Structure 1
């Protein structure tokens, strides 16, 4: 559990965490892998959300998932990019958060992920929360917490000597 001063300061910037769905690069489940490959290459991200036609979050697609499909025994098979669909290879077991206010859950998920999808209770994709935006808030926190809260430094050296 986060201590209250940290939770307060992180929550203060919560409205800046969400990158809205309408500006997040994505592909749809029925797009072919060629289209997904082009989108990922053009935007220079290694992983993006996959949505259905109604805007529901379905999973994530990544360059490694696509290139793995192209690998043959002795050569690359690029024809597979036109034949297979995103839904055939996408990652579906993706943890999401329901809103940007769930700071602690989001922090835990960001340990292993550069972004976390925000998906509402109806499964609609709301956007992403990026590790970069959280790091900006941590930078703010480290500079501001002492100005906003009385901080008492504890002397741990005496407790270490008694062990």
Structure 2
């Protein structure tokens, strides 16, 4: 559990965390892999959200998932991308959050992922929270927390270290 001063300061800029769904590059689950490959290549991201036709979050698609399908023993088979769908290879076990205010859950998820999808209670994709935006707030926290709260300096050089 985050201590209140840290949570409060991380929430200070929470309105900047969410990159709204309407400006996030996505593909549809029923798109062919060729289309997804072109989108990912053009926008220069390695992974993007996958939605159904009603805007529900279905999972993530990445360049490695697509290129794995193209790899043959002695050549690349790009033709196969026209016949396979995003839903055939997408990552489906993706952890999401329902609100940007869920700071602790988001922090845990960002340890391994550069962004976290935000999905409402009905499964509708709301956007993403990026590690970059979170790090900007963490930077704010590290520089401002001493100005906002009385801090007691503690010596961690002795046996009190936990690592």
TM interval, short-chain normalised: over 0.9
User: Which has more helix, going by share of residues?
Assistant: 1
Match of 1:53 in 2: 53
* Mapping for residues 152-163 of structure 1, pairs under 5 Å: 152-157=152-157
Measure, in 2, the Cα distance between the counterparts of 1:157 and 1:47. 41
Residue 75 of structure 1 aligns to a residue whose secondary structure is: coil
Measure, in 2, the Cα distance between the counterparts of 1:159 and 1:84. 57
Measure, in 2, the Cα distance between the counterparts of 1:76 and 1:107. 38
Match of 2:16 in 1: 16
Confirm or deny that 1:91 pairs with 2:91: yes
Measure, in 1, the Cα distance between the counterparts of 2:156 and 2:19. 41
Match of 2:128 in 1: 128
Residue 39 of structure 2 aligns to a residue whose secondary structure is: helix
Compared CA separation, residues 85 and 144, structure 1 to 2 (3 A): same
Residue 60 of structure 2 aligns to a residue whose secondary structure is: strand
Match of 1:105 in 2: 105
TM-score, normalised via structure 2 length: 0.95
Measure, in 2, the Cα distance between the counterparts of 1:21 and 1:150. 39
| Residue 72 of structure 1, CA deviation | 0.7
Measure, in 2, the Cα distance between the counterparts of 1:158 and 1:68. 50
Measure, in 1, the Cα distance between the counterparts of 2:113 and 2:149. 31
- Count of aligned pairs between the two proteins: 160
User: 1:60-99 CA deviation, whole Å, 9 max, x = no partner?
Assistant: 0000000000001111111011010000110000000011
TM-score, normalised via structure 1 length: 0.95
| Residue 155 of structure 1, CA deviation | 3.0
Compared CA separation, residues 158 and 39, structure 1 to 2 (3 A): closer
Compared CA separation, residues 92 and 140, structure 1 to 2 (3 A): same
Residue 59 of structure 2 aligns to a residue whose secondary structure is: strand
